[in-house]
Amino acid sequence: MCKNSQDIICSNAGTCHCGRCKCDNSDGNGLIYGKFCECDDRECIDDETEEICGGHGKCYCGNCYCQAGWHGDKCEFQCDITPWESKQRCTSPDGRVCSNRGICVCGECSCHDVDPTGDWGDIHGDTCECDERDCKSVYDRYSDDFCSGHGQCNCGRCDCKVGWYGKKCEHPRSCPLSAEESIKKCQGSSALPCSGRGKCECGECTCYPPGGGKVYGKTCECDDRRCEDLDGVVCGGHGTCSCGRCVCGRGWFGELCQHPRRCNLTEEQSRSLCESADGVLCSGKGSCHCGKCVCSAEEWYVSGEFCGCDDRECDKHDGLICTGNGICSCGNCECWDGWNGNACEIWLGTEYP
């Protein structure tokens, strides 16, 4: 009863008496505490000033929570950005500062919850948007009872395994198909079930995001979001989208119908607009058409204004660049509405399949 999650008795910071930990506080300052003596607020003491959190914050379980304008492990640094910019960086997609679950310090959210074991806290994310406690049937920070043991917790929402459903995957779902048969039926010609854009249940796909209408098909094979640029314009305004591919109108071509076939520029004028800072035409990875670079189709990952970007540098999840829920923009994922995370792997919409 005195062992922590790493099976260490009283975290080596106390002694066990009748199933309860008595923490070592011989100096009487009470800086070591917790059910398993896992919290040591001596970690918050600044070596130079010998003050807790440098006198500019409060300590909780060995971690400093700094006052506005201060940051650092021990609140030793002052912030060099304006309060307005700091608040803007900390604002979550729903408009709340640190999702009302943390403190904004110099443009970074310090979430209220910190796991005493040093592992990932129950509340996390760039703007504290994820709360893993919502995945537990009965909340106990020392247990791992996520999604009733029948799913994976994804930013506070349960992604249930095949055969289970419910907010916390607590209900079994009857299905005449085996798990292998169900997945095979959801795959179709794709390498991933539901093309990596939906959830497979008993051989049928529910596409993400629900109710959006832009991702559809028997195996979620059509994704009309791929027809949009970063500003949300479909096929550059010069074509129509069909199952995630642009059908360009007369006089236009390109993946997003962004290139006109006719050009009023001379070849010299066109080439001058396609040269990158080092003087190389389209970074040597494309051709120039009417002052714009057309990147090589043979190297699918080459992109950018001068074909100088490599989309392979974007984060992946489930083997998909930007999880298929965003656009790779020169090494960084630009997520579509409702999605967040470095690889756009976190769904923050109000509904969840």
**pTM (2 decimals)?**
0.50
Give the pLDDT score at 257: 92
pLDDT value of residue 114 = 52
The tokens for 299 are 């190297």
Q: Write the single-letter amino acid at 250.
A: R
Q: What are the per-10-residue average pLDDT scores of the chain (353 residues)?
A: 86 89 82 87 86 88 82 83 84 85 83 56 82 70 68 83 81 81 87 83 80 82 88 90 92 89 89 86 90 85 88 83 85 83 76 46
Q: Which pLDDT score, from 0 to 100, does residue 210 have?
A: 61
